[in-house]
Amino acid sequence: MAIRQDDNRPSRRFGLINLLLIGFGVLLLASNFLPNPAMQVPRVPYSLFIDQVNADNVKRAFITSDQIRYELIKPPAEGAPTVLATTPIFDMELPQRLEQHGVEFAAAPPRKPSFITTLLSWVVPPLIFIGVLQFFARRGGMGGAQGALSFTKSKAKVYVPDEESRVTFADVAGVDEAKTELTEIVDFLKTPERYAAIGARIPKGVLLVGPPGTGKTLLSKAVAGEAGVPFFIISGSEFVELFVGAGAARVRDLFEEAKKKAPCIIFIDELDAIGKSRAGSMGMMGGNDEREQTLNQLLTEMDGFASQDKPVIVLAATNQPEVLDAALLRPGRFDRQVLVDRPDLSGRRTILGIYAKKVKLSEGVDLDKIAQATSGFAGADLANLVNEAALLAARAKRTTVEQGDLNEAIERVVAGLEKKSRVLQADEKKVVAFHEVGHAIVGHLMPGGSKVAKISIVPRGMSALGYTLQLPTEERFLNSKEDLEGQIATLLGGRSAEEIVFGEVTTGAANDLQRATDIAEQMVGTFGMSDTLGPLAYDKQGGGRFLGGNNNPRRSVSDATAQAIDREVRGLVDRAHDRALAILSHNRELLDSISHRILEKEVIEGDELKDLLASSTLPTEAALQAVAA
Ligand code: ADP
Ligand code: MG
Ligand code: ZN
């Protein structure tokens, strides 16, 4: 791919200043080493000076902040110097002592700085500042020297698709709806006349919305690759920089350039960095002027250009559409929104296929299995997974990637990289072991399409001290109320085990509780699964996460309803907690035995785990009631 800077960079206009800067620096250094007349006087240790004072041999002393010069009454030897110098020590008693021994003494005010030092101290700091600015300005540009005075130049990179490195739709998989929508955009760019002839208005802005790593950037490059037009790529955060006004000027520059190269595409990645709602930002902080100006400029530019036969289409991507200013989403701006979501099973299989072609796979590798085990992975995670597997194979000095490498890579991507260096204390390890086994036993007994595949107490990643891996046995799009209740109970299984075994809880369950509460809230607010509150959606579409203009995720409800919602959520979590406690008390022996086993082995998986969990049983209804009471 050919990415180059589309800027006529100013030359090194600061060459002269650089020279001056170096010159002054050298002078400043030199001034410290200039021969000082005072240096000619022999220096003696302070202790000798004091001895001589005590011996009443000092006539007079002249004290400055960095030396004491004194004259002896009688030199120690014939012809020896009578004037000596010493370095002062912080000594409060000196004046008293001098007085006692009849020394005549005086102190000098701090030395007056010479003219040249004064000049340097005024001139050099600003020059250094300019130097620093210049340094950053250079680094800001990709390679080329960008002067401090051209901050406003658009930093857009032009991506001119060349034959070999061209990204096409074939490189993107698992996001078929988005591809269909964007194919139409490609058509606009290829044959604008057709649309103009019939009087159809070509859309100006298309917004790609979706979680990170799902291929938004990749898709927009594919659009450029398919249409064969120039492609300006810039990230929203690059607009928002140093000086107020620079962002707006950059937007202006960018559109000017684009108009010259039309038909073309402008791609603004991370649009949310500039497009945050203006209303939302007026708070105590008084808003962000710079961003607002940039946003206004963008709106103006999008309204401004309208050439039917030479279209400029603005693509943008964001993973936080809910924070975008409503003005951006109006017709004539980003009026098209394309959802780029995480891939489903077959999508994941296709993406794995694309990346598996880039490495050497061994014969027996079954990518279907890998696709099954990676539910929830985005495209970027899958690309990462294949690469991790290849790295593992290479480290083991094998020539092909095997199934085991891919399996291990899944765990790495799921739980972060193995971090053996992190050592748990023995008692912590015990808590983690019981916690994870608690998850596993409850998870095993709960309904739903997944099975417990592995328990590990090897610390991984930044925060996970241990983990229990549940793999789905089938691809599921729908979850019943029972499934979700089971998920909440499983999440609370870790904490419940701690309560039963140690009689207290630790901070290790914080993330579990967060997720459990989220599920309970969604059940009540989004899925209408509460019996008392009925099939109403109290939370707005998607809980405010996608495509909603309003920041408040909840519909306006009466106080009584709000309280009822809170009570219902609380009830769901409490019941799940009781259930987990009942299950673990009922299977207490198994909890102990698996926990001890894992403390020895650190990891239990596969058939061994299956056999161990097989002996767990659900408590009777009566036992459940007893715990709840
Ligand atoms: P986003 O912009 O949505 O955060 P990117 O487009 O930057 O994600 O994706 C990062 C990388 O992940 C891509 O360069 C590509 O290698 C891989 N990738 C992500 N999604 C897909 C996909 N749907 N198909 C193929 N590769 C993908
Ligand atoms: Mg991106
Ligand atoms: Zn946990």
Helix or strand (DSSP H, E) at 450: strand 450-456
Q: Is residue 564 part of a domain?
A: yes
* CA 464 / ligand 3 centre spacing (Å): 9
Looking at the structure, tell me whether residues 268 and 321 fall in a common domain: yes
Looking at the structure, tell me whether residues 234 and 324 fall in a common domain: yes
Q: Is residue 445 part of a domain?
A: yes
Residue 220: CB within 6 Å of ligand 1?
no
Residue 629 has a pLDDT of 61
Whether the pLDDT of residue 169 is over 80: the answer is yes
Looking at the structure, tell me whether residues 197 and 136 fall in a common domain: no
Query: Nearest ligand, CA of residue 465?
Result: 3
Query: Nearest ligand, CA of residue 271?
Result: 2
Residue 10 has a pLDDT of 40
Residue 216: CB within 6 Å of ligand 1?
yes
For residues 31-47, average pLDDT: 64
Residue 235: CB within 6 Å of ligand 1?
no
**CB of 445 within 8 A of CB of 584?**
no
Looking at the structure, tell me whether residues 491 and 364 fall in a common domain: no
Looking at the structure, tell me whether residues 499 and 607 fall in a common domain: yes
List the structure tokens of 51. Answer: 């001895």
Mean pLDDT of the chain: 78
Residue 546 has a pLDDT of 42
Q: Catalytic: which of 181, 388, 436, 485?
A: 436
Residue 498, domain extent: 427-628
In the chain, how many domains are there?
A: 5
Q: Is residue 149 part of a domain?
A: no
Looking at the structure, tell me whether residues 21 and 48 fall in a common domain: no
**Residue ID of nearest Cα to ligand 1 atom 12:** 380
Tell which wins on pLDDT, 128 or 170. Answer: 170
CA distance linking residue 591 with residue 207, whole number of Å: 51
**Residue ID of nearest Cα to ligand 1 atom 27:** 379
Tell which wins on pLDDT, 512 or 331. Answer: 512
Q: Is residue 620 part of a domain?
A: yes
Bridge partners, 386 (sequence order): none
Looking at the structure, tell me whether residues 504 and 595 fall in a common domain: yes
Q: Looking at 415, 448, 468, which one is the last position of a domain?
A: 415
* CA 380 / ligand 3 centre spacing (Å): 26
Q: Is residue 301 part of a domain?
A: yes
CA distance linking residue 629 with residue 621, whole number of Å: 12
Q: Report the phi/psi class of residue 194: left, alpha or beta, with left for phi > 0 and alpha for psi in -120 to 50.
A: alpha
Of 27-36, 166-175, 209-218, minimum mean pLDDT range: 27-36
Q: Quick check: bond before 263 cis, omega within 30?
A: yes
Q: Is residue 146 part of a domain?
A: no
Q: Is residue 8 part of a domain?
A: yes
Residue 215: CB within 6 Å of ligand 1?
yes
To the nearest whole percent, how much of the chain has pLDDT over 90? Answer: 19
Looking at the structure, tell me whether residues 58 and 162 fall in a common domain: no
Of 144-158, 315-329, 362-376, minimum mean pLDDT range: 144-158
Q: Quick check: bond before 203 cis, omega within 30?
A: no
Looking at the structure, tell me whether residues 595 and 502 fall in a common domain: yes
pLDDT band with cut points at 50, 70 and 90 for residue 590: very high
Express each pLDDT in 243-302 by its tens digit.
Answer: 566 777 888 888 888 888 878 888 888 888 777 766 554 444 445 676 777 788 888 888
Looking at the structure, tell me whether residues 360 and 260 fall in a common domain: no
Residue 359: CATH number of its domain:
1.10.8.60
* CA 178 / ligand 2 centre spacing (Å): 15
Residue 380: CB within 6 Å of ligand 1?
yes
Looking at the structure, tell me whether residues 80 and 23 fall in a common domain: no
Please confirm, yes or no, whether 498 is among the known catalytic residues: no
Ion ligand 3: residues, CB within 5 A, are 494, 512
pLDDT band with cut points at 50, 70 and 90 for residue 573: very high
List the structure tokens of 627. Answer: 């715990």
**CB of 86 within 8 A of CB of 50?**
no
Looking at the structure, tell me whether residues 334 and 314 fall in a common domain: yes
Whether the pLDDT of residue 35 is over 60: the answer is no
Q: Is residue 420 part of a domain?
A: no
Residue 210: CATH number of its domain:
3.40.50.300
First to last CA, the chain: 67
Residue 486: CB within 6 Å of ligand 1?
no
| Residue to mutate, 218, 341, 344, ligand 1, most ligand atoms under 8 Å from C-beta | 218
For residues 380-392, average pLDDT: 92
